[in-house]
Structure 1
Amino acid sequence: MPTLLLVRHGRSTANTAGILAGWTPGVDLDDTGRAQAAALADRLAPVPLVQAVSSPLERCRQSLEPLLAARPGLAGPALDERLGECHYGEWTGRPLAELAKEPLWRTVQDHAAAAVFPGGESLRELSHRTVGAVREWNEKIAAEHGEDAVWIACSHGDVIKAVVADALGLHLDHFQRINIDPCSVTAIRYTARRPFVLRMGDTGDLASLAPRPAGHGGGSAPSGDAVVGGSTGAA
């Protein structure tokens, strides 16, 4: 199955203000976020990409603009609401410092699988829709571009954490152990047997994410099997 590069949007005006933006319209990247998006295009230069997908929210679409400008042949961005931000309901637009005093905050931190945002969705629903979207896109891209294809999706922190938790086999209650910074890249290679988390919240060099030549990987492990003793690396 293909490799997915999950990118969290660059820093937004809501991030800077300490506001839970949710689906609030008109939340843009701030100056730092725009610089992060420009740097992302350079970081990904060595990696061939066949498809770009995005949350429909402005901050995600803006984060992909420099990459798409540098690659006029790259398909997308296809907008997929299933990769959109969590529907936080009545929490939307409120300061995080204020929300931290709510009883629900502790549930979100310690028992995420039980968290339901008033007037919004539960974190279980978030996980179900986002993981389902990723798996559907994987099948589509594999059919159109082959098993070694690499695609990119720009989304949001809680969305990416939910997808990573699923890939790692973590109970949703533990997804707060995962940290995803603005404009970081999380890479997951899916196989018929299991997903492999290659990078998580990476803000550095990404050249080693380019597909390797057939037969490379140091070993004789079948596709989908882990290399006993550890991978030989990217060289």
Structure 2
Amino acid sequence: MVRHGSHADLGTRLTGRGDEAGLTDAGRAEVGRAAALLADEPVTAVYASPRQRTIDTARLIAARHGLPVRLASELDEIDFGEWTGADFAELDGRPAWDQWNANRADARCPGGESMGEAQARAVGFAIEAAARHEGAVVLVTHCDIIRALLCWQERRSLDDILSFEAGPASVTALDIVARELEPA
């Protein structure tokens, strides 16, 4: 799994599925390092969330392997509903936001999806992609989707999601074995 590189809103605004400008120069440099790290891996497929920041990231990685980028809506960012596009400073201290960050296993974004729903779609797709391809499959997605997949892999509650790090353009291994045929 690779998180998209830095973009202009990173750390200031909850971009979610809203408008975005794509990767910054720093983001492209971050992704270049990630692509170099993956250059010797036997990558056979590259999938990306349908957001511009993930597509741009995936293109830089796929180019190293002569592969096309395939879009996968299952890897999309969480639907943050009413919070989409809000500044983090504006969200701080709101009871629903605090609940979301303290209790991901049960909380839902107002007008959006729950963490469990996002995890289920991402896990289902990861299992399907691993079964469909030999070699390494690169999934270019978003921080909380990566964290949700790690919670699934480690069999941990979504309430532990913030214990995992997934910085911009980070590369994280997800180990899916043949016996895992059903998503959690």
- TM bucket normalised to smaller: over 0.9
User: For the residues of structure 2 that align with 1:127 and 1:71, how far apart are their CA atoms?
Assistant: 28
Alignment-derived partner of residue 173 in structure 2? 187
Alignment-derived partner of residue 14 in structure 1? 9
Cα-Cα RMSD: 1.4
**Is the 8 Å Cα contact of residues 25 and 57 (structure 1) preserved in structure 2?**
no
Output one character per residue of 1:205-225: Cα deviation in whole Å (capped at 9) or x when no partner. xxxxxxxxxxxxxxxxxxxxx
Alignment-derived partner of residue 227 in structure 1? none
User: For the residues of structure 1 that align with 2:43 and 2:81, how far apart are their CA atoms?
Assistant: 35
1:67 aligns with 2:67: no
Corresponding residue to 1:176 among 162, 171, 174: 162
Relative to its length, the structure with more strand (as a share) is 1
User: For the residues of structure 2 that align with 1:27 and 1:159, how far apart are their CA atoms?
Assistant: 21
Alignment-derived partner of residue 3 in structure 1? none
C-alpha displacement at 1:77, in angstroms? 1.2
Runs of 4+ with >3 A deviation: none
One-letter code of the match for 2:63? A
1:111 aligns with 2:103: yes
Alignment-derived partner of residue 233 in structure 1? none
**Is the 8 Å Cα contact of residues 49 and 75 (structure 2) preserved in structure 1?**
yes
Percent identity over the alignment is 32
Task: Specify the structure having the higher radius of gyration (Cα).
Answer: 1
Give the match's secondary structure for 1:97.
Answer: helix
Alignment-derived partner of residue 131 in structure 1? 123
* TM-score, structure 2 normalization: 0.92
* TM-score, structure 1 normalization: 0.73
Output one character per residue of 1:52-102: Cα deviation in whole Å (capped at 9) or x when no partner. 000010000111222222322x2x311001100000000000001111221
Output one character per residue of 1:173-197: Cα deviation in whole Å (capped at 9) or x when no partner. 1111111100001102222457xxx
Q: How does 1:1-235 map to 2 (within 5 A)?
A: 6-15=1-10, 18-72=12-66, 74=67, 76-141=68-133, 145=134, 149-192=135-178
User: For the residues of structure 2 that align with 1:132 and 1:58, how far apart are their CA atoms?
Assistant: 23
User: For the residues of structure 2 that align with 1:19 and 1:157, how far apart are their CA atoms?
Assistant: 14
C-alpha displacement at 1:108, in angstroms? 1.7
**Is the 8 Å Cα contact of residues 129 and 137 (structure 2) preserved in structure 1?**
no
User: For the residues of structure 2 that align with 1:190 and 1:68, how far apart are their CA atoms?
Assistant: 21
Aligned residues: 180
**Is the 8 Å Cα contact of residues 52 and 78 (structure 1) preserved in structure 2?**
yes
Unaligned runs of 5+ in 2: none
Give the match's secondary structure for 2:42.
Answer: coil
